[in-house]
Structure 1
Amino acid sequence: MPIEVGIWKIDNEVKKLSYSPIESEKKLEDILEKDLSILSDDLLLIGRQIQTDYGKFIDMFALDQEGNISIIELKKNRTPREVVAQALDYASWVQNLSYERILKLFEDKQGIPLEEAFVDKFGTDLPEKLNESHQIIIVSSQLDAETERIINYLSDNFGVPINAVFFRYFKEGNQEFITRSWLIDPNVVEEKSSNTRNESKTEKWNKQDFVVNFDDGQYRSWEDATKYGFISAGNGKWYSRTLKQLFVGARIFCMIPKHGYVGIGKVVEEAKPMRDVEIEINEERKKLIDLPLNAPNMKHDLENDELCEHVVRVEWVETVPKEKAYWTKGLKANQNSAYKLRSQYTIEKVLKFFGLEES
């Protein structure tokens, strides 16, 4: 079952806002087109009403940072069987789309090259391979029991990368609000999607390991990070947003760009703006902003959630100074502040360097 969401307004009194279904699926589609981050920060809209070779139209079509496709289908007034069957039919068409076809679809809909839009959205070049996997997202203003049963059955028994998301609409005076609830944890669906890939092209993720790029310098210091137990990123949403992937218990392999791997640790607290982070020192909790720091500009833009430093607290297992960082040919590297580590070669090499064994 998806988690039920309620909203309460707190003023002189506590008042629960009443909800209703969004008045039209088109309004919901318009909202998603305006800001697809409502579904995920990691999606770039290719377009609406994408025509397949079978004469049907996909409601919305998107690409993630790894070059994988999301088929976004609004339930509208169709029966559960109709909408799921239609989405599966679309997926059978999508799986064979070529790199060149995806480029053309994007430019036809958006009027600019995908390569340019991808850099603008993600700050990195378009991957060399596109559409190695795909997933299906059913969007609804309400989620009925029959749709839920069908999607759970396909996901649990056959590993189909399919999910559903439904929205609640709230209104208070002239203000409008929507909330979002997923039927299945999106990370679970993403992993099912990864497992449909050609295994000769892409390694599976082990669901625990990440690489974190730590840019040691004026905005953050590796000495501070090892002393107080954290990693961080900032100076823009693109740099800090990937830290949100890091969940409590995740293992991180920390690397300083142009130097190499400098530490392995376990996440103990998810990403927060620096001003909200507390560090325990001698059994006393102190705000990180009040502690002496080597990085001269780490406290930049403290009240600006988009620009400020975002901090993830870490329990370090092993670290080395920057001057002793480990690097060898073939290790995984990427421009993102944090990303899933799929390379078993990198895991084994870095663990061996730090004198650790795979748990």
Structure 2
Amino acid sequence: MPVEVAIWRLDEKPSPVGFLSIDSESRLEQLLADNISILDPNLLLIGRQVPTPYGHFIDLLAIDSDGNLVVIELKRDRTPREVVAQLLDYGSWVRTLNVDDVAGIFSDFLTKYYPQNANTSLESAFCERFHVEEMPEGINESHELMLVASELDASTERIITYLADEYGVAINAVFFRYFRDGEREYLSRAWLIDPGDVDIKVEEKRTKLPWNNEYYVSFGHKDNGSSRHWEDARKYGFVSAGGGDWYVRTLKLLEPGGRIWVYIPGRGYVGVGKVINGPVLANEFLVRNEAGQEVPITQAPLKGNLTRPADDPPGTEEYLVRVEWIKTVPVDQAIWERGFFANQNSAAKPRSKRWVYTVNRLKSRFQIPE
């Protein structure tokens, strides 16, 4: 079941702020259309009320930083069977879309809802949204189905969990709680299944290979220096994640001595190395500065930023894992081929054929012996 969220106002004694039903599902759709990062910060909205060949309309269609499509459907007043069947039907169509189809959907979306930006291409919007120089070579190599509701009934939860657990369908549900305290309004979000677990379930159900003892790491590099920067990681020997427990906790999978292959979303693979220790908070990660003194990395010269903004909530700090690099390349030389493995987890122990293929190809491309 999803984690329940409750809010208390702290006066002389804590007073609960009761949750209400949001005014309408259409208002929730509008909120997500205005800011899709409320649902997931790794998404770019590319379509709204997207017509399908079967006479139905997808509420919202998005693309993630790996070029995979995400179908987002609001439950509205439909039964669990109706809404889940609708999602699966949409998925059967979305999987057939090629990059030209996706670009056409995005163009129609801008023309209808943002005519002032009608001349913006999908590629330019994608690159601006995810701070990359070009889109991935493979677009829509996989897709995800997402049900959004103001609340979830037990039947819907059972159906979605069954599809994910037993058949490896990339499907999830998220519900939003709406709170009002005087004139202020609040919206909270909770997932039915941890999004990272969905990726793992999909990969495990597609294949049941034993783990090949090679770790996958996703490194959220930012060119503009606002967050972690790959050149800092190369120079000081680390990988990192931050922004909340969901992003950080998978770093604990990385055991000392294990070999990691590092992927930058939207770019490709940029390094292979051996885990030394970690994870630790950025201000506890010691390096030598240009004077040869051992200092916290936050006090060393950096191209990026490993310090969370002061107004970010507690628990969003950056954590670093120390790595001894075997080989790395700059971001502009990142290695990517069609069929390579990628997902949004900060770290993972994949068991899919795609991961085995990816590692074997990377060994050749990086010239790493067995």
Q: Could you tell me the TM-score, scaled by structure 2's length? A: 0.69
Q: Distance in 2 between matches of 1:128 and 1:351?
A: 20
Using the TM superposition, give the Cα deviation of residue 310 of structure 1 relative to its aligned residue in structure 2, in angstroms.
6.4
Using the TM superposition, give the Cα deviation of residue 102 of structure 1 relative to its aligned residue in structure 2, in angstroms.
0.9
> What whole-Å deviation, never above 9, does each CA across 1:46-73 have from its counterpart, x for those lacking one?
1110000111101111111111111100
Select which of 179, 189, 198 maps to 1:180. 189
Select which of 245, 252, 260 maps to 1:248. 252
Q: Distance in 1 between matches of 2:328 and 2:285?
A: 28
Counterpart position of 1:345:
360
> What whole-Å deviation, never above 9, does each CA across 1:88-133 have from its counterpart, x for those lacking one?
1111111111221111110111122101110110122122221111
Question: Do the aligned partners of 1:246 and 1:267 also contact (CA within 8 Å) in 2?
Answer: no
1:312 matched to 2:319: yes
Q: Distance in 1 between matches of 2:262 and 2:67?
A: 24
Using the TM superposition, give the Cα deviation of residue 348 of structure 1 relative to its aligned residue in structure 2, in angstroms.
5.2
Question: Do the aligned partners of 1:73 and 1:139 also contact (CA within 8 Å) in 2?
Answer: yes
Select which of 145, 156, 161 maps to 2:165. 156
Tell me the SS of whatever aligns to 2:5: coil
Counterpart position of 2:275:
265
Identity %: 36
Change (3 A) 1:130 1:264: same
Comparing 340-349 with 175-184, greater Cα deviation is found at 340-349
Counterpart position of 2:216:
209
Counterpart residue identity of residue 150, structure 1: I
Q: Distance in 2 between matches of 1:13 and 1:147?
A: 37
Tell me the SS of whatever aligns to 1:127: coil
Q: Distance in 2 between matches of 1:205 and 1:16?
A: 49
Aligned residues: 316
Counterpart position of 1:295:
301
Q: Distance in 2 between matches of 1:53 and 1:23?
A: 31
Counterpart residue identity of residue 10, structure 2: I
Counterpart position of 2:109:
109
Change (3 A) 1:254 1:170: same
Using the TM superposition, give the Cα deviation of residue 17 of structure 1 relative to its aligned residue in structure 2, in angstroms.
1.4
Question: Do the aligned partners of 1:133 and 1:193 also contact (CA within 8 Å) in 2?
Answer: no
Comparing 23-32 with 342-351, greater Cα deviation is found at 342-351
Residue correspondence of structure 1 range 1-359 to structure 2 within 5 A: 1-110=1-110, 111=118, 112-124=120-132, 125-192=134-201, 208-210=215-217, 212=219, 215=229, 220=232, 225=236, 230-231=238-239, 247-250=251-254, 252-253=260-261, 261=271, 263-265=273-275, 268-269=278-279, 277-278=283-284, 293-295=299-301, 303=309, 311-316=318-323, 318-319=324-325, 325=327, 333=335, 342=355, 343-345=358-360
Question: Do the aligned partners of 2:48 and 2:58 also contact (CA within 8 Å) in 1?
Answer: yes
Counterpart residue identity of residue 172, structure 1: D
Counterpart position of 2:352:
none
Q: Distance in 2 between matches of 1:264 and 1:168?
A: 43
Question: Do the aligned partners of 1:134 and 1:193 also contact (CA within 8 Å) in 2?
Answer: no
> What whole-Å deviation, never above 9, does each CA across 1:236-289 have from its counterpart, x for those lacking one?
x9xx9x9768532246446999xx74742267447x6x5xx44599xxxxxx98
Change (3 A) 1:152 1:262: closer
Tell me the SS of whatever aligns to 1:160: coil
Q: Distance in 1 between matches of 2:161 and 2:41?
A: 24
Using the TM superposition, give the Cα deviation of residue 295 of structure 1 relative to its aligned residue in structure 2, in angstroms.
1.8
Change (3 A) 1:160 1:13: same
5+ residue gaps in structure 2?
Answer: 111-117, 222-227, 288-293, 337-341, 349-354
Change (3 A) 1:206 1:170: farther
Q: Distance in 1 between matches of 2:12 and 2:286?
A: 36
5+ residue gaps in structure 1?
Answer: 282-287
Counterpart residue identity of residue 275, structure 2: G
Using the TM superposition, give the Cα deviation of residue 195 of structure 1 relative to its aligned residue in structure 2, in angstroms.
7.3
Using the TM superposition, give the Cα deviation of residue 24 of structure 1 relative to its aligned residue in structure 2, in angstroms.
0.8
Change (3 A) 1:99 1:175: same
Question: Do the aligned partners of 2:95 and 2:143 also contact (CA within 8 Å) in 1?
Answer: yes
Question: Do the aligned partners of 2:50 and 2:57 also contact (CA within 8 Å) in 1?
Answer: yes
Q: Which has the higher contact order (CA 8 A, sep 6+)?
A: 2
Using the TM superposition, give the Cα deviation of residue 211 of structure 1 relative to its aligned residue in structure 2, in angstroms.
5.3
